[in-house]
A and B are shown apart, each in its own frame.
Chain A
Amino acid sequence: LLDSLLQEIHRRKRRRKMSFMKGISPIRRTTNYLNASPLVLKRRVKILTVNFNENEEEEHHKGARDFVFWNLPQVQYKNPNVQIVTFRNLTPSPFITCFLEDNSKILFDVDSQSNKEIMDRLVKTVGKSKELLEEEALASEAKSNPANFCRRLGFDRHCICEMPGQVPCPIMVPVPKHWRGKWWNQGHRYEEE
């Protein structure tokens, strides 16, 4: 008993530092924050490019800088299949480019706009509308029905044979012959035992 108590004290002293509080503004690294973005890009947007300058003195880039710092992780989290690239200190004015499926580009001149304005603008032009997002949320709920089988598709159980009380898997226990379709169709049901 004494040994186990000592072990517990040791365990409490060797506490790991919480990895949550590391870095600048670690609120950006919470799932709640990442999910809070209203911007889910339409399917035809394949690449999103942000051009901005890092120099603090260039005030007209501040909105773009804030967008990249605060909102870009949110956008990438909600759109994992869109390539997001940032270009720093290339051009005097900040802008965002969206490359679409049919090889066309949409340029957003983002000079002197705050990051909230940029976000609203993107949601309005290339983002899925709120109603569409709600519909999709409903549809995805139906897909994640826990009553379904197939582990390959992400459900919990691979077959009904693993549930207690059901017929065991024929790999382990062979099924009675007269239950098999093969026996039935090959005419064995007419044989007299």
Chain B
Amino acid sequence: AHKVQVPYFVFDNRLKAFFNHHQEFIASDPSNESKTGDVVVIQKIENMVQKEITHFISETMYKCGDVKDPISGEYVVGSRTRAQMKEIEELYGATGNFDYETAPERGRLAETQDFTDRPVYRKWHEFEKDDPYGIRN
């Protein structure tokens, strides 16, 4: 289950302008592929199993770091495609830049050194087994 933050606009009647508000939902992930930072489309569950999980992730629009342009279908970084970036690098003769093709998939340090996938808590006692998700201030 992932916590998904949904932005929506609320109209202020006095100022006659829209302001950004957020609502958080807990969505289950049937494909188990979503990571923090992905842009997803969530849908309401018809028959709720758990009270807290109200939605499920029906579609991943953009994966964090591997954004695919829906029109051309190519991997894209900002205002350039990855192919364009590589071409520019070759023209400049750059060496040692990050190579998207040979780099391993994102998230390989998920449980070893990157402890951001689960919420973190403050640790007040040292147990025998050290939990990396507990932080000593």
At the interface with chain A, which of B30-38, B73-81, B115-123? B73-81
Contact with B69, one of A84, A89, A92 (Cβ below 8 angstroms): A92
In the complex, whether A97 has a CB less than 8 A from a CB of chain B is: yes
In the complex, whether A30 has a CB less than 8 A from a CB of chain B is: yes
Contact A85 B71 (CB under 8 A): no
In the complex, whether A148 has a CB less than 8 A from a CB of chain B is: no
In the complex, whether B51 has a CB less than 8 A from a CB of chain A is: no
Chain B residues closer than 8 Å to A99, beta-carbon distance? 41
Chain A residues closer than 8 Å to B41, beta-carbon distance? 47, 99
Please report which residues of chain A, range 16-38, place their CB below 8 angstroms from some CB of chain B when the two chains form the complex.
19, 23, 28-31, 34
With A83-B8, A91-B69, A95-B71 as given contacts, are A55 and B79 in contact (CB-CB < 8 Å)?
Answer: yes
Distance between Cα atoms of A107 and B41 in the complex (Å): 15
Q: How many of B's residues come within 8 Å of A, CB to CB?
A: 27
A-B pairs with beta carbons under 8 A, tally = 61
Contact with B15, one of A29, A85, A92, A97 (Cβ below 8 angstroms): A29
Interface on chain B toward A: helix, strand, loop, or mixed SS? strand
Contact B17 A93 (CB under 8 A): no
Contact with A along B111-131 (1 / 0, CB 8 A): 000000000000000000000
Contact A90 B71 (CB under 8 A): no
In the complex, whether A120 has a CB less than 8 A from a CB of chain B is: no
Contact B71 A19 (CB under 8 A): no
In the complex, whether A76 has a CB less than 8 A from a CB of chain B is: yes
Contact A76 B18 (CB under 8 A): yes
Tell me the smallest distance from the CB of A137 to a CB of chain B, in Å: 20
Listed in ascending order, the chain A residues whose CB lies under 8 Å from chain B are 19, 23, 28-31, 34, 47, 49, 53, 55, 58, 73, 76-77, 80, 83-85, 87, 89-93, 95, 97, 99, 103, 107, 109
Listed in ascending order, the chain B residues whose CB lies under 8 Å from chain A are 6-9, 11, 14-18, 39, 41, 43, 58-59, 61-62, 67, 69-72, 76, 78-81
**Closest CB pairs A-B (n = 6):** A29-B16, A91-B69, A92-B79, A91-B76, A29-B17, A109-B71
